[in-house]
C-alpha cells in the first residue's frame, strides 16, 4: 500500500457535516494502477462526499489525500488533480452551463491552456468518439436526459483525464443510452475507474472489484465481482 | 422561454451583428430620452415603428409586449397630470388637471414607446447568448457579462424547479385559496426555491472547478462585420445624430 505508486490514496479521512453529523470515519482507500472499482453503499453513506474530497471540492477534517504520488494540501495541488482526475457529476445539469454543447466540451481543454482552435478540435473529436457530433451546436439545457448525460461525460473526457470518477452515471437512462455509455467508458483508455452506482448492469460491465461504504467505513465487498465470476467464486 | 420569443427569424435585423445593434440601441435610446420638442418625439416614434416593422415580429406579440410596458406608463398618467403646476384645464374633484401635466405625460408615453419599440427591434432579435457574447466583445467588464449570462442561464433551471414543485403540490390536491395553508405553501415554495437555487449554484461552481475554471470565460464565437451591419450602423447613426442635432439647436420649435 504505497501511496507513491498508487493512483489515488486516501488515508484516515474523517469528515462530518457542519451540523456535526459524521459521514466518514477514518476511511482508507487505495486505487492501484488499472483498478476498476465500484463504490457501493446506501443513500447518504458518503460516496459523493468521498469523490468531492478526492478532488478537493470539500476538505476533510483530517487525513491525507494523495493523487498520483502528490500529497494534496492546498487549492494549487487540487487544481493539478482536477486535470488528471475527471469527475462526472450525478446531475448533468450541474455540469453543463455553456450556451452550446461545443463550448461546454471545449471549456475544460481551454482551461488547461489549449488554444481555442485546438480546444475545439479536441471537443469535436470527443463528441464524435461518443457518437454525438450532431449535438455540437445545440443548447445543452434543451437536450433530452440521455443526451445531457452523454454531453456531460464528453465535457470530462475532453480533458483526457487519467482517472475517471463516475457518480451514478446511469440514473434515469434507458437501456439503450446505458449500453452506449458503458461502451464509451469501456473504450476510454483510463488508468483507473471509480464508479458509484446502484445499477448492476454498469457496475458488472465496467468494474472488477467492489467496495462498500457502510457505517462510515469502507469495506471490501467480495473478492471477485464480475458478471461471469459472480456465480462461482473459486480460486482467484 | 418567453424572454427570447423573438430571437429566431430571418429578417434583416435578425441577421445583423449584435454588437452593432447593442451600440445603436444604446445611443438611440439615450438621445430619444433627452428629446424635448414634440415634433422630434413624433419623428422618433414613427422611426421606431418603421424600424420595428422591418424585424417582422407578429403584430399581436408586439402589442402584448407594449401593453406590459404601458401599464407602468399608465401609472404616470394617474399622477403627472394632477401634480404638475400650470394652466388648469379642469377640476377633477379636489384635484386640478393642468395642460402642462397632460403634455408631460403624453411626451413620456411617446418617448417610452419609441425607445421600447427600437429596443424590441434591435435587441430582442438576438438570442441572449449572442448578446452576452457581444457585450464581452465590446469589452464590458467580464464580471458583468458573467452576471448577465448566469442570471439568464439559471432562470431556466429555477423555472424548472419551480415547475416541479408546483406539480408536486398540485398532484396532492392543492388549489390556491385565501387561507393560511395557501400562504404557508407559497412561503415554503419561495423558500425552497432560494435554497435549491443556492445549492444548485454551489454544485455548478464545483463542476466548473473540476474542469479547471479560474475565472476566465472563453470566447469561441467571433462576430464578423458584414455590409448590412455597416448600413444599419450608418442609418441608425444618421438618425440618432440628426435627432440629437436638431434637439441641440432647438429646431423645429
What distance in Å separates the CA atoms of residue B241 and residue B234, rounded to the nearest whole number? 10
Q: Which chain A residues touch B153 with a CB distance below 8 Å?
A: 97, 141
CB contact under 8 A, B150 and A95: no
CB spacing of A159 vs B211 below 8 angstroms: yes
Decide if pLDDT at B158 tops 70.
Answer: yes
B151: pLDDT strictly greater than 90? no
Instruction: Give the residue with greater pLDDT, A193 vs B162.
Output: A193
* pLDDT for residue A235 is more than 50: no
Any idea which residue has 462526472 for its cell?
A: A88
What gap in Å lies between CA B100 and CA B87, rounded to an integer? 7
CB contacts, 8 Å: A112 with chain B: 212
Give the integer Cα–Cα distance in Å for A119 and A103. 9
Q: Which residue of B has its CA nearest to A165?
A: B210
Q: Does A15 have pLDDT greater than 50?
A: yes
What cell does B118 get? 427600437
Per-chain mean pLDDT for chain A: 87
Size of interface A-B (CB pairs under 8 A): 71
Say what the ipTM of the complex is: 0.72
Estimate the share of chain A in helix, then strand, then coil, as percent rounded to the nearest 5.
Answer: 35, 25, 40
- As a whole number, mean pLDDT of residues A74-86 equals 90
Hey, is the C-beta of B179 within 8 angstroms of any chain A C-beta?
Answer: no
pLDDT tens string B185-240? 888 888 888 888 888 888 888 888 888 888 777 777 778 888 889 999 999 999 99
Residue spans of the domains in chain B: they are 3-126+223-249, 140-210
| d(C-alpha B152, C-alpha B135), whole Å | 14
- Kindly tell me if the per-residue pLDDT of B5 is higher than 50: yes
Residue A236 has pLDDT above 50, yes or no: no
Q: Do B212 and A111 touch (CB under 8 A)?
A: yes
Residue of higher predicted confidence among B171 and A137? A137
Q: What is the value of pTM for the model shown?
A: 0.71
Q: Above 50 in pLDDT, residue A3? A: no
Asked if A103 lies within 8 A of B218 by C-beta distance, the reply is yes
Hunting for cell 488515508 — which residue is that? Answer: A11
pLDDT tens, residue by residue, A171-194: 888 999 999 999 999 999 999 999
B155 pLDDT tier (thresholds 50, 70, 90): confident
- Which has the minimum average pLDDT: A137-141, A164-168, A218-222? A218-222
Residues 108-137 of chain A with CB under 8 A from chain B are 108, 110-112, 116, 119-120
Q: Lowest mean pLDDT: which of A129-138, A214-223, B63-72?
A: A214-223
Q: Poorest-confidence range of A1-5, A89-93, A130-134, A179-183? A: A1-5
* pLDDT grade for A222, boundaries at 50, 70 and 90: low
What are the pLDDT digits (tens) for B109-144?
999 999 999 999 999 988 887 888 889 889 888 889
**Is B203–A94 a contact, with Cβ atoms under 8 angstroms apart?**
yes
Q: What percent of chain B has pLDDT over 70?
A: 98
Q: Could you tell me if B230 and B237 are in contact, meaning their C-beta atoms sit under 8 angstroms apart?
A: no
Q: Please give the residue that has the higher pLDDT: either B168 or A82.
A: A82
Residues in chain B closer than 8 A to A86 (CB atoms): 210
* A26 CB-near residues (< 8 Å, 6+ apart): A12, A13, A14, A63, A217
**B209 to A57: CB separation less than 8 angstroms, yes or no:** yes
Percent of chain A, pLDDT > 70? 92
Q: Is A44 helix (H, G, I), strand (E, B) or coil?
A: coil
pLDDT over 60 at A230, yes or no: no
Q: Do B210 and A91 touch (CB under 8 A)?
A: no
Q: Which three cell numbers stand for residue B49?
A: 415603428
Q: Are the CB atoms for A17 and A23 separated by under 8 Å? A: yes
* pLDDT tens-digit series, residues A98-133: 778 998 898 888 888 888 899 999 999 999 999 999
Chain B residues whose beta carbon lies within 8 Å of the beta carbon of residue A119:
218, 220
Q: Chain A: nearest CA to B166, how far in angstroms?
A: 20
User: CA nearest B214 in A: which residue?
Assistant: A111
Mean pLDDT of A49-78: 92
Is B212's CB within 8 Å of A97's CB?
no
Contact call for B207 and A89, based on CB within 8 A: yes
Is the pLDDT confidence value at A228 over 60? no
- Minimum distance, in Å, between the CA of residue A19 and any CA atom of chain B: 16
pLDDT (average), residues A86-106: 87
Output phi, psi for A215, to 5 deg. 55, 40
Place of cell 431556466: B156
Amino acid at each position: 500500500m504505497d501511496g507513491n505508486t498508487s493512483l489515488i490514496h486516501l488515508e484516515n479521512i474523517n469528515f462530518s457535516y457542519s451540523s456535526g453529523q459524521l459521514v466518514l470515519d477514518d476511511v482508507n482507500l487505495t486505487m492501484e494502477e488499472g483498478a476498476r472499482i465500484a463504490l457501493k453503499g446506501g443513500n447518504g453513506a458518503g460516496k459523493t462526499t468521498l469523490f468531492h474530497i478526492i478532488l478537493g471540492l470539500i476538505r476533510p477534517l483530517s487525513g491525507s489525500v494523495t493523487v498520483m504520488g502528490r500529497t494534496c494540501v492546498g487549492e494549487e495541488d487540487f487544481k493539478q488533480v482536477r486535470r488528471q482526475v475527471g469527475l462526472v457529476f450525478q446531475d448533468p445539469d450541474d455540469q453543463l452551463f455553456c450556451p452550446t454543447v461545443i463550448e461546454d466540451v471545449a471549456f475544460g481543454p481551454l482551461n488547461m491552456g489549449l488554444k481555442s482552435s485546438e480546444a475545439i478540435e479536441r471537443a469535436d473529436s470527443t463528441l464524435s468518439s461518443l457518437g454525438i457530433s450532431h449535438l455540437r451546436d445545440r443548447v445543452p439545457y434543451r437536450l433530452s436526459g440521455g443526451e445531457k448525460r452523454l454531453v456531460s461525460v464528453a465535457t470530462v473526457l475532453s480533458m483526457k483525464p487519467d482517472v475517471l470518477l463516475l457518480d451514478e452515471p446511469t440514473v434515469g437512462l434507458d437501456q439503450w443510452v446505458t449500453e452506449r455509455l458503458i461502451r464509451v467508458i469501456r473504450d476510454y483508455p483510463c488508468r483507473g475507474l471509480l464508479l458509484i452506482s446502484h445499477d448492476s448492469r454498469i457496475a458488472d460491465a465496467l468494474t472488477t472489484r467492489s467496495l462498500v461504504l457502510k457505517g462510515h467505513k469502507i469495506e471490501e465487498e467480495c473478492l471477485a465481482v464480475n458478471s461471469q465470476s459472480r456465480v462461482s467464486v473459486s480460486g482467484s | 422561454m418567453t424572454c427570447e420569443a423573438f430571437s429566431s427569424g430571418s429578417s434583416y435585423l435578425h441577421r445583423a451583428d449584435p454588437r452593432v445593434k447593442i451600440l445603436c440601441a444604446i445611443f438611440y435610446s439615450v438621445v430619444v430620452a433627452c428629446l424635448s420638442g414634440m415634433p422630434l418625439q413624433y419623428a422618433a416614434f414613427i422611426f421606431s415603428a418603421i424600424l420595428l416593422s422591418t424585424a417582422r415580429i407578429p403584430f399581436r406579440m408586439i402589442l402584448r409586449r407594449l401593453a406590459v410596458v404601458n401599464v407602468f406608463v399608465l401609472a404616470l398618467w394617474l399622477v403627472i397630470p394632477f401634480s404638475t403646476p400650470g394652466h388648469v384645464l379642469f377640476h377633477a374633484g379636489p384635484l386640478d388637471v393642468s395642460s402642462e401635466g397632460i403634455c408631460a405625460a403624453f411626451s413620456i408615453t411617446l418617448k417610452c414607446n419609441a425607445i421600447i419599440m427600437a429596443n424590441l427591434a434591435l435587441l430582442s432579435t438576438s438570442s441572449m447568448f449572442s448578446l452576452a457574447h457581444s457585450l464581452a466583445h465590446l469589452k464590458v467588464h467580464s464580471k458583468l457579462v458573467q452576471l448577465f449570462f448566469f442570471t439568464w442561464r439559471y432562470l431556466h433551471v429555477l423555472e424548472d424547479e419551480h415547475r416541479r414543485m408546483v406539480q408536486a403540490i398540485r398532484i396532492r390536491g392543492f388549489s390556491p385559496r385565501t387561507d393560511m395553508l395557501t400562504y404557508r405553501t407559497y412561503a415554503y415554495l419561495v423558500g425552497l426555491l432560494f435554497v435549491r437555487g443556492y445549492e444548485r449554484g454551489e454544485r455548478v461552481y464545483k463542476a466548473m472547478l473540476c474542469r479547471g475554471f479560474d475565472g476566465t470565460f472563453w470566447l469561441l464565437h467571433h462576430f464578423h462585420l458584414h455590409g448590412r451591419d455597416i448600413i444599419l450602423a450608418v442609418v441608425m447613426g444618421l438618425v440618432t445624430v440628426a435627432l440629437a442635432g436638431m434637439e441641440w439647436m432647438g429646431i423645429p420649435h
